[in-house]
Amino acid sequence: MGDEDMWTQRPARSQRGFALIFSLFIMVLLLITTLLLLQNAQGTAANTRANELKNGALNAAEAGANKAMDALDGSLAATGPGSGTLANGYKYSYTIYPNLSNGPQRTYTDPQLGSIVVPSAMAAIVSVGTGPVLERPVTVEEIIQAPVNFNLGSDAILANVDISGHWNHKIGIEESSPGANDANIHANRNVTADVGFLHGTATASGTTDSLNGSPGGVNTSQQFVPLGQFPALIQYMQNHASVTVNGGSLASSYTCPAYVAGVLGRVIFYNGSLHPSGQAKTTFTGDCILVINGDYDQTGQASMAFQASQHSIMLVNGNASYAGNAATSALLWSKGDITLDGNANITGAVVAGGSVSFGGGGSGGGFEYDRSFLNFQVNIPSKIKTAAYAEY
């Protein structure tokens, strides 16, 4: 009996041992889980702190960029550098790389990427933000665009690309008055045109000038054409339009205030492409600005008659073709190409964001320069704005 009692007790001791081992195993699992949760919490806290530091430095860098833009709003001649400290202790420093003149694009040394290309009439801002104890810095770079400021200079016809085409020997580019010899033309690429006469000087920034055989006719400096600012110019005109026409025809006449230096005249905004033909004629009295928000194609005997010496402007947000009786005494300015028909009588000045071409071959017509557009200035009030942005 004693042996049997001892035999029956042994399983109980084995069960207690197994329970102890199982309990220890569970405790180890709980400990490992706790350690993993603690490690994860520490990692989350570290990531949160890193994001806070990065966002703080980014906010500081953007504050520096805003300060630089404020400086340029005050004066386009501002170059920096500048620095400051925010209320939370984060710091910024900025540098302005200007190219706000009418010259070609410029390249500057970039502290992060090696080089930065700044287009004409723009500037670059590099702003660096850091934390209170010099944590990892954040850099913000912006290409900013200046307000539209455009001086026509002494050019009667200015093309951002080429001047080409043909007029016969009876049709040419006429000076503003006998002997003035002031009907100057310029192409930022090449002049390949053939006209009956040119009472002025032709220059080209490229290697070909068919209207000037002298060495000074080619490889000249490019003239500024505010192509990049054209959308802002159109938007400004639309916002300040006195009259808006949504399709259909223009009225037969519009009366505008007399020209006052530095002040824009009345704006007639045509929202769409316009194709006057037949006997269609619109007369403008005073200092008028006609905006065509699309292409313009004038044929037949149609005409746009602007009062002489009033500094009126005809802006075309596209390509423009002047035939018929054309236009008189206005700055004809298009975003794209301009075609001048030899049968038409065109007076004023011409600026094309694309090319200017001569076409047609009648016995009359041609172009005559209006000297009142000499050094004509177009200023569109606005603030500096961002054209491109990057952060790293």
Domain membership of residue 50 (yes or no) is no
Domain that holds residue 95: 57-147+382-391
pLDDT confidence of residue 383: 57
pLDDT confidence of residue 274: 97
- Same domain, residue pair 276 and 331: yes
Q: Contact, 309 vs 331, CB < 8 A?
A: no
- Same domain, residue pair 311 and 204: yes
Domain membership of residue 36 (yes or no) is no
Domain membership of residue 51 (yes or no) is no
- Same domain, residue pair 334 and 255: yes
**Closest C-alpha to 293, from 262, 323, 267:** 267
What are the Cα distances from residue 298, in Å, to 26, 295, 327, 336? 91, 10, 10, 16
- Same domain, residue pair 185 and 256: yes
- Same domain, residue pair 164 and 310: yes
Domain membership of residue 6 (yes or no) is no
- Same domain, residue pair 168 and 113: no
- Same domain, residue pair 296 and 322: yes
- Same domain, residue pair 97 and 177: no
**Closest C-alpha to 315, from 263, 339, 279, 351:** 351
Domain membership of residue 25 (yes or no) is no
CA distance linking residue 347 with residue 180, whole number of Å = 15
CA distance linking residue 369 with residue 332, whole number of Å = 12
- Same domain, residue pair 201 and 341: yes
Bond prior to 147 in cis (omega within 30° of 0): no
Q: Using CA atoms of 54, 57, 63, 68 in order, give the dihedral in degrees to the nearest 10.
A: -120
Query: Can you give the pLDDT of all 392 residues of the chain as single tens digits?
Result: 445 454 445 555 556 666 677 677 777 777 777 776 666 655 555 555 556 767 878 888 888 888 888 887 766 677 778 899 988 888 999 988 887 765 667 787 776 667 778 877 678 888 898 888 766 788 888 887 766 677 888 999 999 999 999 998 889 999 999 999 999 999 999 999 999 999 999 999 999 999 998 988 999 999 988 877 788 788 888 888 889 999 999 999 999 986 655 556 789 999 999 999 988 999 999 989 999 999 999 988 888 999 988 889 999 999 999 987 766 789 999 999 999 986 778 899 999 999 999 987 666 778 999 999 999 888 765 555 555 556 66
pLDDT confidence of residue 109: 75
pLDDT confidence of residue 208: 97
CA distance linking residue 121 with residue 100, whole number of Å = 4
CA distance linking residue 385 with residue 69, whole number of Å = 8
- Same domain, residue pair 103 and 179: no
Q: Contact, 123 vs 142, CB < 8 A?
A: no
Domain membership of residue 233 (yes or no) is yes
Domain membership of residue 52 (yes or no) is no
- Give me the amino acid identity at 58: L
**Closest C-alpha to 220, from 241, 196, 201:** 201
- Same domain, residue pair 239 and 350: yes
Domain membership of residue 15 (yes or no) is no
- Same domain, residue pair 69 and 87: yes
pLDDT confidence of residue 1: 47
Tokens of residue 43, six digits: 């990692």
pTM of the full predicted structure?
0.66
Tokens of residue 210, six digits: 């068919």
Domain count, the chain: 2
Contacts of 174 (CB under 8 A, 6+ apart): 183, 197, 199, 366, 367, 368, 369
